[in-house]
Chain A
Amino acid sequence: MRAKPSPRALAAAGAGLALAATALLPDGHGLRAAACLPLALYWPGVAFLHAVGRPRDASLEWEAMAVMASVALLVPGGLLLNRLGMLGALGWACWLAGATGALLAASLLRPAPRRAAPRPGRPRALPRPLVLGGFLLALGLAGGAAVIAVDDGLHWREFRFTEFWMLPDVPEQPGAVLIGARNAEARPMVYAIAVMQDGLPIASWRGIALEPGASATRDLPLVVRPGTPSRVEAWLFDSDNPGTVYRKVWLNIGAPGA
């Protein structure tokens, strides 16, 4: 029968693997996430417990202590990385893998804890099918709850609306304005836009069709006389109600302080 690897060997391997994954794999890669999660939440704590003298039993209490120690070690690590200007992914991986390695090295100075004698009792059996079915049913119900909640969270919109805006095309240089609209009405919309400068029409667009979630922008060059204040105003109409201004925005150009 092959001996199980020791927790110290597992911690060292886990930390090394996570460091390599952070250095080699791109951000958001599933393997990197799987390797780094225990690096942040478990391996440094395991090493810490071995370094300070972990009791022989492997009870839940000590596993909880290992996780707590890992989370707690993130705080001094963060403070140090901030001081070094390395508060990024590689900095974190280096700190956690380095701390794990250093603590494991320190733990080698201690005599290795003897394995607890196996507790007498029946060998573990697989749960009976009915029990297993019960746990699976529980998982299914909880999953159903999650699906309902996430679907509502992602898709429920109490308000349907259209966003309309006008900004200087280049801030502080009002030679042109940028006019935009975004459809969040949850149905396709057709818009029209009219633009006036000092009350006189200077541009208009009709038949701007936008699907739900889509947006459109228009650049509009302006005639601006330096030192002369001017006001550019844009009105948005929707095709269902073309006689009523649906949204209104404006911009003061050349005004003192503008």
Chain B
Amino acid sequence: MSPPAADAVPGDAPRPPRFWSPAALDARAARGGFVGRVLDLIGPRLDPEAPEAEERPHPGWMAILSVGVALSLLMLAQAHHEGYRDRPNALLQWTAYGVMFFPVALRAGRHGTARAERIFLVALVGMAALAAKWLHSPTRFVFFDEFLHVASALDILERKRLYTTNPLLPISPAYPGLELATTALVELTGLPLFAAGYVVLAVARFLLVVGVYCLLERVTRSARVAAVACLVYMGNSGFVLFDAQFAYESLALTFFVLALLAASTRRDAAASPFAAYALTLLPLAALATTHHMSAYFTAGFFALLAALSRFSRAGAPDRRFLLVVAVAAVALPVAWSRLQGGSGDGYLGPILEKGSTELANLLSGTGRSRQLFSTMSGAQSPIEIRVFSIVALLVVVGGLLTGFFRAIAQSVRPERGWAAIFRFLRLQWSDHWLLLLALTAVGFPVSVGFRLTGAGWEIGNRMGPFVFLGAGFVIAVAMTRLWQPAGASPRRRAATAAALSVCFLGGIATGWGNPSTRTGYRVAADAASVEPMGIDAALWARDWIGPGGRFTADRINRVLLATYGRQTVVTTLLDKVDTSFVLLAPRLTGGEIGALREGYVDYVMVDMRMTTGLPRYGYYVEKGEYQEDPLSPVEADNLLKFNLYPGIDRLFDNGSHIVFGTGGLRRAR
């Protein structure tokens, strides 16, 4: 039976429903045919869900799945072992990720699995994903962004004070949350920075996974939806690498999720008002001092939530609470940024402005999209990366299409069918938390749009972990209500788990890509360029020149010199001096010598391995650098030009790295 039209008024003469009325749409969906089937598929039909069975946790399954996850880690370690020897084994690596995720998705997404078992399984695979990143580089931080924060943490440890200068990322010392947590552990326990950093990352990851689960469970009141949403969340492009790095967003994301979870306790009065305020404002304050962009995204979340609660027809008991929290979520990061001299604005402003302009141009047809599936040097991504990325995108889009109206309908209960959607369009809903999650999923296509632009991909990348909170919920609704309802056949359950697994693999492929496969040394390829020879050269500088020498070098050796070498590297970001021409130009003219003087550069480190290949990330030193021929590596003569100038010393040589002393030339008149 079709539900009555929402806009029917008692006493009116019965009239045939208009074809766009809720009743007509419901009837059309029920009648079948192509349009009817599409309407039924993407529509808001919510069949009554079978109550979740009260099964006991099954320790046997938990043990078996733990063995499977551990086996996947062993396979990954073997794949990296071969990769070190420049025999990258992509097949073994991707199989390992599949073995890690698929059985867990099958069990955790099953109707009837016990709540405790679901929590165990999502926490297991969440921690395994962090372990996978650790296996890639188990003895040191190697990712570019990690070095930026290692430099800030080392400054705190050595100088015992905050707000020192970090030429690699000048904004980093103004947001010291991650570094404070890590250096506190180093000071208290005596752990090395790398180990303390991983303790913080492990705690942050565990809290993130448990937090996402508990938030979704509290909001949806379904352990199954929460577990599936958690698994979908792990398919966001930042989960395995970007948000597992020793970088401020990794901790900020945890504060964001826990702040939402704490706020959600006011929804059903699980906590007293005072406790809810304290538990929500504490992570918000910590977040404001940890990461600028995450703090602003969080402010947007709470502002939207407060606005949605304003219109909730069921009368939101947490309306005033959410308003106060939203004001705090906006005020805290703005106030912190002002306290730090507006450093966040100067850093974020250009990124947002340029990214938005490029997205607008792309949408209006006047701009071109970024070339996908190729490195900046033009090398094409392997086929598996492209396949996983595209299929995962299709799965997510399919999940959003089939789940969005269903998720909206859940927030407008007790109306059912299309009447719920019409009610939503009249700004009348009953559950602003569910609606927040559903609307957040709309951010997914926006983030994909940003990722297509050259300047905005970074915004799209940062948006991923936030919008996937909503996307996870919407796709979980689609899965539990349509793809795999209670009593689904084993084949259907396997297909759904396979779809979730493809999401997970696609997230890794999109976020980490080809470099997730370990290889030997590659030129200007971030983690693939960090190896003992460069580290030893930086350590030589620390031991024999002493900390604080003013250096210029290529992108990779800069971060090694700043962290392992404790040298002061001259950068455009901080010193406003572009020294890339000093390194790459064929001769030293007045401009290059002027840059040496302006930047007080006493040492130049050249890495002759740069002559063996094009830079994997598009440039050797920084964007806009000198390029003689974009299709050929830099000439050895260009790097060795320093040999020809009488005032320049040649201080160090290891066959690849040469340190030239330019102090004499710089000071000569």
Contacts and interface: CB of A to CB of B under 8 A. Distances in A.
6 contacts: A53-B271, A75-B286, A138-B63, A148-B77, A163-B540, A247-B653
Contacts of B598: none
Contacts of A112: none
A119 B649 CA distance: 77
Contacts of A141: 67, 70-71, 73-74
Contacts of B66: 134-135, 138
Contacts of A87: 156, 160-162, 183, 187
A82 B653 contact: no
**8 closest Cβ pairs, A-B complex:** A134-B63, A28-B190, A78-B180, A257-B667, A153-B139, A257-B668, A141-B70, A138-B66
A255 B647 contact: yes
A166 to B, nearest CB: 6
A252 B649 contact: yes
Contacts of B156: 87
Given A144-B74, A152-B80, A255 B653 contact: no
A78 B218 CA distance: 33
A23 B661 CA distance: 45
Contact of A85 (B160, B537, B659): B160
A82 B161 contact: yes
Given A41-B199, A75-B290, A138-B69, 18 more contacts: A40-B184, A71-B207, A75-B289, A85-B160, A131-B63, A134-B64, A135-B63, A135-B66, A137-B67, A145-B77, A145-B135, A149-B80, A149-B138, A153-B138, A154-B139, A156-B85, A252-B648, A252-B664
B651 A249 contact: yes
Nearest to B534: A159
Interface in A203-258: 231, 247-252, 255-258
A161 B656 contact: yes
Interface in B642-664: 646-656, 659, 661, 663-664
Contacts of A41: 199, 203
A89 B189 CA distance: 8
Interface string A110-133: 000000000000000001101111
B184 A67 contact: no
Interface in A163-183: 163-167, 180, 182
Contacts of A78: 162, 176, 180, 183-184
A190 interface: no
B666 to A, nearest CB: 7
Interface centre among B184, B258, B285, B533 (most CB of A within 10 A): B184
B254 A68 contact: yes
A63 B296 CA distance: 27
A32 B60 CA distance: 37
Interface of B: 59-60, 62-64, 66-67, 69-71, 73-74, 76-78, 80-81, 84-86, 119, 131, 134-135, 137-140, 156, 160-163, 176-177, 180-181, 183-185, 187-191, 199-200, 203-204, 206-207, 210-211, 214, 218, 251, 254-255, 258, 261-262, 270-272, 274-275, 278-279, 282-283, 285-286, 289-290, 520-521, 531-533, 536-537, 540, 544-545, 646-656, 659, 661, 663-669
Nearest to A91: B187
B285 A75 contact: yes
Interface of A: 18, 22, 27-29, 32-33, 36-37, 39-41, 48-49, 52-55, 60-61, 64-65, 67-69, 71-79, 82, 85, 87-89, 92-93, 96, 127-128, 130-135, 137-142, 144-146, 148-150, 152-154, 156-159, 161-167, 180, 182, 184, 231, 247-252, 255-258
A137 to B, nearest CB: 5
Given A74-B184, A93-B188, A68 B283 contact: yes
A75 B652 contact: no
Contacts of A74: 180-181, 184
B652 A164 contact: yes
Contacts of B536: 163, 182, 184
Contact of A52 (B84, B255, B274, B646): B274
A78 B663 CA distance: 38
A33 B189 contact: yes
A3 B571 CA distance: 62
B60 A64 contact: no
B668 A48 contact: no
Nearest to A54: B275
A79 B289 contact: yes
Contacts of B214: 60-61, 64
B657 to A, nearest CB: 9
Given A72-B282, A159-B531, A248 B653 contact: yes
B532 A157 contact: yes
Nearest to B185: A40
Nearest to A64: B210
B119 A60 contact: yes
B184 to A, nearest CB: 5
A249 B652 contact: yes
Contacts of B181: 40, 71, 74-75
A256 B669 contact: yes
A138 to B, nearest CB: 4
Given A60-B119, A152-B80, A153-B138, A251 B649 contact: yes
A255 B258 CA distance: 62
Contact of A258 (B84, B190, B261, B663): B663
A158 B67 contact: no
Contacts of A75: 176-177, 180-181, 285-286, 289-290
A60 B654 contact: no
Contacts of B70: 137-142, 145
B188 A92 contact: yes
B184 A53 contact: no
B190 A153 contact: no
B653 A249 contact: yes
A72 B255 contact: yes
A33 B190 contact: yes
A89 to B, nearest CB: 4
A130 B64 CA distance: 10
A134 B254 contact: no
A249 B661 CA distance: 11
Nearest to B123: A60
Contacts of A256: 647, 664, 668-669
Contacts of A130: 60, 63
A113 B618 CA distance: 60
B230 to A, nearest CB: 13
Contacts of B203: 41, 67, 71
B191 A33 contact: yes
Nearest to B180: A78
Given A87-B156, A137-B67, A92 B187 contact: yes
B59 A127 contact: yes
Given A33-B190, A79-B162, A165-B653, A153 B140 contact: yes
Contacts of B290: 75
A150 B531 contact: no
A71 B74 contact: no
Contact of A257 (B520, B656, B663): B663
Contacts of A27: 190
Given A52-B274, A165-B540, A159 B656 contact: yes
A20 to B, nearest CB: 13
A158 B532 CA distance: 8
A32 B533 contact: no
Contacts of A251: 649-651, 661
B273 to A, nearest CB: 9
A152 B79 CA distance: 12
Contact of A152 (B81, B258, B270, B669): B81
Contact of A65 (B119, B160, B279): B279
